Structure 1
């Protein structure tokens, strides 16, 4: 049984979803980039999600977002469904698009975590040995200078989406918002922090490529590879899928967050046990999503701060 997840309005997350069996269905070409940007723009507007950064790799998708209204599961269901259906049409693909593993959702609790994870997302194509520098990636992504002020635009894709349906406008815009932990007057400092961390992660990737005597594939080749092939690089199995991140050197913040997560899970399980015993008046802890949305269970308004 999966662990219960706390869904809190205003929380910032790093979200990762992988393509089935590491097929290259999101190969960075104009059609797939248009689909991803357009669908993300429409989906985030529909559910009040703020986007801070993104990077669409050939085999998976990274997002850094803030769930303003506490509706993250609904957003993910809608967004992933439309992306999958559009991809099936674009690639003439039969069967599932997404991997069977659950979406990775990591709550970012500190400024340090936000900086590190945004840099991680942007550095992904470099770490994968595809391009030497993040800005060279030809797929859907953002540059450091765009953080908190850029706007992505995409026309409605012809694949799958009905032009007569008003929920699919002719063009969709996706503004890149500053994360809530970043004040407007410190935006430039924040972008500089991300740039510094990105440089560090790129240097690590360069050193690793040199150690293994590998060469970067290059943007042109990455755009031409067949989307029906599968990634062949080694990937560690059963890696930890964390619930939250606080950044390097944030030991105190990590301990506080870990205590809060354990307290939420213990409270949730106790309430669920009583519910299963037939006590419908039981109150679940703040942040409970599934029991409230599916069964109408009562949820307290008192949020445990982390």
Structure 2
């Protein structure tokens, strides 16, 4: 059984989900890029999700988002469903699109964590040896300079989306928001910090490619790979799946966050044991989502602090 997760209004997350068996179903051609941007724009608007960063790799998607209203599971269910259905049409794909592992959801608890994870997301194509610089990636992505002042646009794809259904507008726009802790007057400094961290990732990737005597694949070749092939780079199975991040050198914040997670899980399990014993007055900790939404369980008003 998976661990219970604290879904807190206003939290910022790094989201990662992989295609089935690392198939390259999201190869960065124009049709799949249009689908992903459109689906994300429609889904974010529907659930009032603020999007800060995006990078659609051929075998997986990365997002950094803020969830003001505590509805992240609803957003992910809707977004991943329409991406999957659209991909099945575009790729004439039978069977599941997404890997059977659960979506990775990492809560970002400090400014340092937000900076590091946005840079990590944007650097993915470089770290994978596909392009020399993040801005060269031809797939759906966000550039550093767009955060807090840019937007992504997409016309409704002809595949899957019914033009007669009002839920699918002809045009969808996705504003790229600043993370909530970043004030507008400090936005340039924040973007500068992300750019510096991204440059660090790119320099590491360049050194690693040179060390191995390899070359970067390039945008043209990356756009032409077969979507039915699978990624062949080594990836450890059953690797760690963290639930939060605080950034480098944030030992104090890490200890506070770890204590909060342990407290939430212990409170949740205690309430669940009472519920299973038939005690419907059991009160779950703040942040409980599934039991509150689907079973009407009571949730305490007190918020477990993780900062």
TM normalised by structure 1 equals 0.99
The SS at the match of 1:186 is helix
- Equivalent residue number for residue 187 of structure 1: 187
Deviation, 1:215, is: 1.1
Quick check: 1:218 aligned with 2:218? yes
For 1:128 and 1:93, locate their aligned partners in 2 and report how far apart those are by CA, in whole Å.
25
Which residue does 2:127 correspond to in 1?
127
Is 1:12 matched with 2:43?
Answer: no
Distance between the aligned counterparts of 2:238 and 2:181, measured in 1?
31
Deviations 1:25-67 (A, max 9, x none): 0000100000000000000000010000000000000000000
Aligned-residue RMSD, C-alpha: 0.5
1:140-151 matches, cutoff 5 A: 140-151=140-151
Using the alignment, how far apart are the partners of 2:253 and 2:197 within structure 1? 20
More displaced 10-residue stretch of structure 1: 132-141 or 236-245: 236-245
Aligned-partner Cα distance in 2 for 1:293–1:180: 26
| 1:38-49 equivalent positions in 2, closer than 5 A | 38-49=38-49
Matches within 5 A, 1:171-250: 171-250=171-250
Write the distance in 1 (CA, Å) between the matches of 2:142 and 2:271: 43
Aligned partner of residue 159 in structure 1, secondary structure: coil
Aligned length: 306
Shift, 1:233, TM fit: 1.2
Q: In structure 2, the residue corresponding to 1:260 is in which secondary structure?
A: helix
Residue 101 of structure 2: aligned partner: 101
Secondary structure of the structure 1 residue equivalent to 2:223: helix
Displacement of 1:235: 1.2
Structure 2 segments unaligned to the other structure (5+ residues): none
Residue 78 of structure 1 corresponds to 78
- Equivalent positions of 1:253-272 (< 5 A) are 253-272=253-272
Is structure 2 residue 66 aligned with structure 1 residue 66? yes
Secondary structure, aligned partner of 1:43: helix
User: SS at 1:93's partner residue?
Assistant: coil
* Alpha-carbon shift at residue 237 of structure 1 (Å): 1.6
Q: TM-score, normalised by structure 2?
A: 0.99
Quote how far apart the aligned CAs of 1:91 are: 0.4
Q: Deviations over 1:135-156 (max 9, x none)?
A: 0000000111101111100000
**In the alignment, which residue of structure 2 is the partner of 1:112?**
112
Q: How far off is 1:122 after superposition?
A: 0.2
Shift of 1:294: 1.0
**Residues in 1 aligned to 2:160 and 2:285: alpha-carbon distance in whole angstroms:** 40
Separation in 2, partners of 1:81, 1:74: 11
1:123 is displaced (CA, Å) by: 0.1
CA distance in 1, matches of 2:233, 2:218: 16
| Partner of residue 29, structure 1 | 29
CA distance in 1, matches of 2:148, 2:245: 21
SS of the residue 1:294 aligns to: helix
Q: Which residue of 2 aligns with 1:90?
A: 90
Alpha-carbon separation, structure 2, partners of 1:272 and 1:236: 33
SS at match of 1:224: coil
SS at match of 2:50: strand
C-alpha deviation, 1:212, in angstroms? 1.6
